[in-house]
Chain A
């Protein structure tokens, strides 16, 4: 494992701050209308199936752009509605990072989404089986700054279903592990039975030199790991504060405290990235629902450099 230091901290920080790239979204009415995709496979991630993973492929390939880690699609159920769901797997990616964002290569191998049944649309999604055709439009939004993390220690902090949008980053790391410094995944879940991607978690730890730290809110008799909040895992350190880059996805309160823990360890604000969630209806910056200050989460996010979102964590109901 080899990590190189950036030439100067300030230029590195500037480079990182510019690293949340904006792929070109679909245009015109096409961006507003779903096209048919087929559910190829359904995998239950937890025992009761409340969290499940779909492998999807387009019925008719129309040169769809390859989604990037951190982006989302709008998934549509006939007559029921639509939900914004982050991409949790991109089978066609070859580990080339975000270098080709302005003209992403075409989709190959479909797209993977991991969904938690929590609202009317996602509950209806839970009832669907492989072979069903749904509607999809996208990909939309900004992506995780994977390229900017090269040569640095990389800290991924996930809360609950927040691990799903980070999964393509983990795949990226696994594909070219030597490009990154120490990699730490801090993952918090409600209970041991709520942990998702279990077999992959083990593989990332054992085969990819990814240090895995898990915290659960409530343990079980069989649970020998940490019981507590995910931020306590960060307090153990084990990474270079100044030369680290962090990506956080989870409930806002968890992201807020994670940022504070990272700051205590010396990680610059500018090297911390968060994925925000707001009500999203159009996904292209027209409907106005997802505004945070001057930003539209669908268009300018969901991945933001933390300093841009700091007011959202400080000001209630912004």
Chain B
């Protein structure tokens, strides 16, 4: 996001922080299960919010490659932290989902029961701009291809999103470069900007949909002052400025990665990568899955469970004769080139939103932006293969 161009019009209404509970209650009255950030021991995760006290009040975080620590802020902010290990995709693309059941049937041999309960209406409170971008990316993957995932589509339709601009990007964040934050552009029903300046604590609020506008009408808000609107702009700019540029521009990095396949640096990453799959599990856009077939003890009913998968597992590329990507270098290369390069061709956008989770939650502290920089540095502008061993000679 450029600082010159505002991500969206200035919010015109103010909701006092003391009224945040009212927002939760209005959502509950409308039949939504309200979910949001909540503190679970030493991390901020997503879960049900019974009321406003479930939010991680006065909680900040410190993130670095392989490092995540909570800290006390001292200002009483509700949303004074960057994203944690959870992402919202778990509520749309569940980590475990039974797709169908097959019953043994005396007459027909087999009878298939297609599952899919009506989706629970859910309101997500505290969706960060990078996560709105990730939701949009998963929408494309699951609902805008030749085959649409009906379960995902139903859960998505039942979703109400309350975005909160990010005022406290972590050291691992690079959403501005990926054009996904730190201020929300669109894709929300309501958007909040937290203005926490004790003793004053309030939210600038705006609607992004008809459902959001209806809720905004029902909330006890007042008009925003010029000073408050200015504070919102300043927060957007300050958060952007906190994130130094880490990646080459989109065209440059795509060209770099498209010609990087035999680069020796993949081997260097592989020496540090444990192929532990943490990065793909915390990633809000990773969509790979496995199919697990299981039967009951009587052998009368079988079901297929779709579980989150990862391209870092050897089993992911398994064919007769062994895994196709047997080296960790090839698996890391697949993941990174998919995120930043081939995703564009597949789905018309980057597969990375710059949330930094994969950096924070990598036990080795591998930072994809540093790896791209290393690929660029040693590339020397040449597109020639670097290691003869990396290719096999042909026509």
Contact = CB atoms under 8 A, between A and B. Distances in A.
Contact of B394 (A118, A256, A277): A256
B319 to A, nearest CB: 6
Interface string B307-347: 00101000011111000111100100110001000100110
A314 interface: yes
Contact of A32 (B99, B330, B391): B99
B392 interface: yes
A263 B104 CA distance: 52
Nearest to A251: B321
A314 B316 CA distance: 21
A210 B142 CA distance: 45
Interface string A60-88: 00000000000000001011111000000
A64 B304 CA distance: 22
A33 B112 contact: yes
Given A82-B291, A314-B394, A286 B149 contact: yes
B299 interface: yes
Given A36-B111, A79-B295, A26 B102 contact: no
Contact of B316 (A81, A260, A289): A289
Interface in B107-136: 108-112, 114-116
A138 to B, nearest CB: 12
Contacts of B330: 316-318
Interface in A279-318: 279, 281-282, 284-289, 291, 293-294, 296, 299, 311, 313-318
A80 B392 CA distance: 37
A254 interface: no
B288 A287 contact: yes
Contact of B309 (A31, A38, A119, A287): A287
Given A36-B110, A260-B395, A277 B319 contact: yes
B290 A281 contact: yes
Contacts of A94: none
A interface majority secondary structure: loop
A212 interface: no
Contacts of A263: 395
Contacts of B210: none
A273 B290 CA distance: 29
B104 A78 contact: yes
Contacts of B325: 317
Interface in A116-173: 118-119, 132-135
Nearest to B289: A287
B291 A285 contact: no
Interface of B: 99-100, 102, 104-105, 108-112, 114-116, 141-142, 145-151, 261-262, 287-291, 293-295, 299, 302, 304, 306, 309, 311, 316-320, 324-327, 330, 333-334, 338, 342, 345-346, 390-392, 394-395
Given A287-B290, A287-B291, 14 more contacts: A28-B149, A29-B99, A29-B116, A32-B304, A33-B100, A35-B112, A76-B102, A82-B291, A286-B141, A291-B334, A293-B342, A315-B262, A317-B333, A318-B261
19 contacts: A22-B146, A27-B146, A29-B151, A32-B100, A79-B293, A80-B293, A81-B293, A133-B108, A133-B109, A259-B395, A279-B317, A282-B289, A282-B291, A287-B291, A288-B287, A291-B311, A294-B346, A311-B261, A316-B392
